[in-house]
Amino acid sequence: MEFTKIFSQAEVERVHEASLEILENVGMLVRNQKALEIFAQNGCKVDTESMMVKFPREVVEKARETFVPTYTFTAQDPKFDITMPGDRPVVVTGSSAPNIIDPKTGEERRATSDDIANIAYLINELPGFDVFSISTLADDAPEGQFSLSRFYPALKNCKKPVRSNTPNMEDLKDVLELGYLIAGGEEEYRKRPFINHHYCPVVSPLTFDVESTEAVIYLIEQGLPVYGTIVPNAGMTSPLSLMGTLTLGNAEFLGLATLTQMIRPGAPMIYAVLSTVADMRTGAYAPGAIETGMLQMAHTEMARFYNVPSGGYIGLTNAHTNDAQSGYETGMNTTGALLAGADLFNMGGLLGSLMAFDFGKAVIDNEVALMLKRIKKGYEYSEENLCLDLIAKVGPGGSYMDADHTLKNMRTIAVLPKVATREMRRRWEDQGKPDAHARAMKEANKILSKPNKGRFSEELDAKIREQFKGLVAGDAKWSL
């Protein structure tokens, strides 16, 4: 499959050059002490007083030499391990929403650890999703267990790679401790680190923050999986033009990538972004806007220039319910990104610009994911697939319905959707006119009504609960 290109080679190189100019002349504000030291030791010009770091171009170019082209998400169950770009598109849930649309009442409320358990189980079962980024916060978290109350129900109920962030180092270390227990020891865990860490250490414009930069440095040093997303917002934290925001975001990616390669040359990375254009009427955040998809496409082209996997939060929506807006925002932006060659899609399950998880949205996004994967699978060009013999055999006026070829392909050639309807109107009316949301909730209900077999063993669970006293139950429980 040829990828959609937005720029000529000369234009791509100019964006790279311009990014180097920004890093060299404007520099970045680095609020983390360790990062300042690392930059200073590796050839950057560091002013410890003002925390300003300037990057000579040869420093950035040196970091580029050790970029690696692949990134793997490891799972508790090895059959779910997934590597980019080979296994693209890697579809991930959207994460860390404070709220959930209650599946019974349809009303928005704070999400809990029980919700995370249900979501984890659902994502484990939906084939379109490859990675479970923990969708919500847990409002019922006991004091001191903010992150454990998210990772425990997630890891207990989902054997696919689990991904999320932690707000501080204590929480990060607790979460790793949980990983060690599940793996049967630290050494075992390090062989297959199935907790995939993610942060936004760069706050646009051009600033490294304190806590998440600390976590990123620690994880890279430890050789554990981590990557960052760059999040400029045009008109607010970056220039109000697509070119300006692309270039600033690209410079910020290079800044983070340089730090990463300074700590551990060859550390895997993803060129991940959530570049947006703010709605200047109100300042509203607009991740569902078409410009988000356009920016993702251009960032992906830059990532290809650097030969690193690309993607980000693409396919989010501002809609508050599973309506047409929710569908076209997710559908159009992810399709654009896929055609441009993006590998990673943080797209599933969230409404209201990352504010609330919705079970129906997750099931619909699973179907969008399956469609994206169908596009990626493509035409499978071959002489045989031209079907010349078959066309001659059936001839003019014949039928292909009973051909062996048709029987062979009928279950695999097309996506067979569970949410999209293909019923005649009359039949759909007889069913009570269910819309996409209603059909999606039916699917969610079908999956979640069965008990989850993939939980922890009694023995392991007892060990975990012994280690972390007062931990939430973390079991998937569903009733509508």
Partner 1 sequence: MSVQDIYDAVVEFSVDKVVSLVDAEVKSGTDVSEILSNGLIAAMDEVGQRYSEGEFFVPEMLMAAKAMKGGLEVLKPLLSQGDSDKKGTIIIGTVKGDLHDIGKNLVSMMMEGAGFEVYDLGVDVDTDKFIATAKEKNADVICMSALLTTTMPFMEVTVKAIREQGLSIKTMVGGAPVSEDFANKIGADGWSTDAPGAVETARRLTAK
Q: Is 256 a residue that touches partner 1 (CB under 8 A)?
A: no
Closest approach, Cβ 134 to partner 1, in A, equals 11
CB of 115 to partner 1, least distance (A): 14
Among the listed ranges 40-48, 281-289, 316-324, 420-428, the one in contact with partner 1 (CB under 8 A) is 281-289
Question: What is the distance, to the nearest Å, from the Cα of residue 450 to the centroid of all Cα atoms in its chain?
Answer: 27
- Is residue 193 reached through a cis peptide bond, with omega within 30 degrees of 0 on the bond before it? no
- Assess contact for 154 and 69: CB atoms under 8 A: no
Q: How many Cα atoms sit within 13 Å of 366 on the Cβ side?
A: 29
Which residue in the set 52, 236, 332, 387 belongs to the binding site for partner 1 (CB under 8 A)?
A: 236
If binding is defined by CB under 8 A, does position 210 make contact with partner 1? Answer: yes
How many Cα atoms sit within 13 Å of 443 on the Cβ side? 25
128 CB contacts (<8 Å, ≥6 apart)?
91, 348, 365, 366, 367, 368, 369, 370, 373
Q: How many CB atoms lie within 10 A of CB 383?
A: 7
Nearest to partner 1 of 282, 412 (CB atom): 282
**Residue 235 or 434 having the CB closest to partner 1:** 235
For residues 104 and 422, which CB has a smaller minimum distance to partner 1 in the complex? 104
Footprint on residues 288-347 left by partner 1 (CB under 8 A): none
Residue 52 binding partner 1, by CB under 8 A: no
Toward partner 1, which CB reaches closer, 302 or 351? 351
CB closer to partner 1 out of 128 and 232: 232
Q: Does 173 bind partner 1 (CB under 8 A)?
A: no
Q: Kindly state the smallest distance separating residue 387's Cβ from partner 1, in Å.
A: 52
What is the 8-class DSSP label of residue 79?
Answer: G
Q: Give the shortest CB-167-to-partner 1 separation in angstroms.
A: 4
User: Would you say 471 and 463 are in contact if contact means Cβ atoms under 8 Å apart?
Assistant: no
Selected from 75, 122, 137, 262, the binder of partner 1 by CB under 8 A is 137
DSSP designation for 86: T
Q: Which of 56, 167, 244, 327 binds partner 1 (CB under 8 A)?
A: 167
Work out the angle at residue 231's Cα, subtended by the Cα atoms of residues 206 and 339, and round it to the nearest 5 degrees. 130
Sequence-separated (6 or more) residues with CB below 8 Å from residue 377: none
Contact 190, 219 (CB under 8 A): no
Minimum Å gap between C-beta 102 and partner 1 is 13
**Does 223 contact partner 1 by CB under 8 A?**
no
- Binding residues for partner 1, rule: CB under 8 A, are 31, 96-99, 109-110, 137, 146, 165-168, 203, 207, 209-211, 235-237, 278, 280-283, 285, 353, 355
